[in-house]
Amino acid sequence: MSKSYITTPLYYVNARPHIGHAYTNIIADCLARFKRLCGSEVFFLTGTDEHGEKIRKVAKLSGKEPQEFVDEVSANFKDLWQKLNVEYDFFIRTTFDFHERIVQEVIKKLHTKGDIYKEKYKGFYCVPCEAFWTAIQVKESGGVCLDCKRELEVIEEENYFFRLSKYQSWLISYLKENPEFIKPSTRYNEVLSFLENNSLEGLCISRPKKRLSWGVEFPLDNNYVVYVWFDALLNYISAAGYNQDEERFKSIWPADYHFMAKDILRHHAIFWPIMLKALEIDLPVTIFAHGWWNFEGEKISKSRGNIVNPLELIKDIGVDSLRYFLLREIPVGGDGSFSWKAIVNRINSDLANDLGNLVFRTLNMAEKYFSGRISSSSPAVPREFREVLSEIEGSYKGLMDKAEFNTVLEKIFKFINVMNKYIEETKPWALWKAGEKEKINIFLYSLLEGIRIVSIYIWPVMPFTAESINGQLGIKSRELRIENAGWGLHGDFKVKKEKPLFPRIDVS
Ligand code: MSP
């Protein structure tokens, strides 16, 4: 059986989750469900990044001990994933004991290899981001933090460093030999060109306790804690059993997809592969950096204060509509503009008018003309469906594998519209008047087969909807498997219509 290891970033717990976090987890969930649909053994990992000064500070502001605070916020993320129907296999928190132990073991290992050294260092430091920037970077940014654009402090202190430079030329060759390693290709080009035009400096992986205390204790020197990023990246192997259960680790690693947005691509595409190489561990298969959701032209983020709350959106429009909107509206690699108008358009036209209406009126006819019992007819695919259906069959797996969800949905909705047109052109009401029962049975069987196949294809994107359609068609959920998506595989139908799947949203 093939296996698939899929990860999301570990989100900082300094604030509640917003729509940007929800987006990444919906992408990862969609891919994980697709892999399960195809019979793959999936390990889907998500979690929270809980160390660092900014988290300690927010905890203090809310009058709580750091651990109590991170327990609460981490639970908010878990709750959101459950509400969004994100079915992960394990939720890792960087404050778990086993993870902290692995971080320390890794540092000791790399130190023994000579890849970690101590040095006095003067650098430009951003306190909120806990990041050091080089003189060249600071010159380019005009003296502010490259991430949050805040003022920087000049800090001089002794720290421990990880020797990135030793592996730079190896990484360049690796990227050249593996052009599929970073996706989309624009991001691959960016990383490669960055590496070819800059010399990597040592990565500062310690923070003195006098300045920052909420972290994994540095194993070589108890005056320090470990830099949050060095700690957090290691979750991808600690959660898979590294240095704890080698059998399990072998069966899960390497990760097949690391999902994140472009803001943290360098951490994943430069630091992480080098850390793995130094540890003599295989590299992940794909690092996938998606785009940003913006709101009125600016990235949606906590620091900009323009967050969109996914819990409220779920209440207003429902989980599947939200998942559909986010995955249909933009290609995964691009940026998207978040607006209520765009959501309403998508829901009313694609979901209420096209899909919802198709299911409702087909089942309505099946009940009206045959009391819900439609016998299986000739297995031939109606002429009208052939082209569009074979286009989906031929491209579905390849596109889903590349996380090209918007293109897949476009093709599926083309088929839905072909079915709607088929109803209009066949005019079943006229056939009924003419007593053509046999013809109406064939016509309805074709539509029910089409809808059944659609429900399998859309399951990764809209699981509740697919399951509800299946229930209405009298099919068990366990039949939601890709090998059942062939035409004519279902026998007689016994259907039972429910209320419309997607009520229209009133904009007046
Ligand atoms: N803790 C680090 C990640 C460590 S992974 C080992 C971190 N956390 S974060 O809370 O800031 O999350 C960043 C991630 O959240 C992005 O890479 C992306 O997955 C998601 N998003 C946050 N804002 C987003 C948008 N506005 N649009 C799309 N995704 C967004 O970085």
Interior/surface letters 356-395, b for 16+ CB within 10 angstroms, e for the rest: bbbbbbbbebbeebbebebebbeeebbeebeebbeebeee
pLDDT tens, position by position, 375-413: 997 668 999 999 999 999 999 999 999 999 999 999 999
Instruction: Say yes or no: CB of residue 237 within 6 Å of ligand 1.
Output: no
pLDDT at 508: 66
CATH number of 345-494, picked from 1.10.357.10, 1.10.730.10, 3.60.20.10, 3.40.640.10:
1.10.730.10
Highest mean pLDDT range out of 137-141, 373-377, 412-416? 412-416
Mutate to test the pocket of ligand 1, among 8, 18, 24, 287 (most ligand atoms within 8 A of CB): 24
* Atom in ligand 1 nearest the alpha carbon of residue 264: 17
* Atom in ligand 1 nearest the alpha carbon of residue 8: 19
pLDDT at 329: 96
Cα separation, 229 vs 267, in Å, equals 8
pLDDT at 415: 98
State which amino acid sits at residue 141: S
Instruction: Say yes or no: CB of residue 299 within 6 Å of ligand 1.
Output: yes
pLDDT of 86 above 70 = yes
Rounded to two decimals, the pTM is: 0.95
pLDDT tens, position by position, 450-494: 999 999 999 999 999 999 999 999 998 777 899 999 999 999 999
Helix then strand count (H, E) for the chain reads 21, 17
Q: Assess contact for 307 and 301: CB atoms under 8 A.
A: yes
pLDDT at 147: 80
Q: Where are the domains of the chain?
A: 345-494
The 8-class DSSP code of residue 3 comes to E
pLDDT at 410: 98
pLDDT tens, position by position, 209-242: 988 889 999 999 999 999 999 999 999 999 999 9
pLDDT tens, position by position, 30-79: 999 999 999 999 999 999 999 998 899 999 999 999 999 999 999 999 99
pLDDT of 360 above 80 = yes
Cα separation, 282 vs 278, in Å, equals 10
Q: What is the mean pLDDT of residues 187-195?
A: 98
* Atom in ligand 1 nearest the alpha carbon of residue 49: 1
Instruction: Say yes or no: CB of residue 225 within 6 Å of ligand 1.
Output: no
Share of the chain above pLDDT 90, in %: 83
Answer with the residue of higher pLDDT: 377 or 295. Answer: 295
477, 420, 322, 479 alpha-carbon torsion, rounded to 10°:
10
Q: Assess contact for 221 and 160: CB atoms under 8 A.
A: yes
- Whole-number average pLDDT of the chain: 94
Q: How close is the Cα of 74 to the center of ligand 1, in Å?
A: 15
DSSP string across 406-449: HHHHHHHHHHHHHHHHHHHHH-HHHHHHTT-HHHHHHHHHHHHH
Q: How close is the Cα of 290 to the center of ligand 1, in Å?
A: 10
118, 238, 273, 302 alpha-carbon torsion, rounded to 10°:
-90
Q: What is the mean pLDDT of residues 138-159?
A: 88
Instruction: Say yes or no: CB of residue 292 within 6 Å of ligand 1.
Output: yes
- Min mean pLDDT across 12-21, 105-114, 449-458 is at 12-21
By DSSP bridging, strand 257-261 and strand 286-290 are: parallel
| Confidence grade of residue 366 (pLDDT, cut at 50, 70, 90) | very high
pLDDT at 277: 98
Which residues, 6+ apart, have CB-to-CB distance to 89 below 8 Å?
42, 43, 44, 45
Share of the chain above pLDDT 70, in %: 99
pLDDT at 378: 66
* Atom in ligand 1 nearest the alpha carbon of residue 263: 17
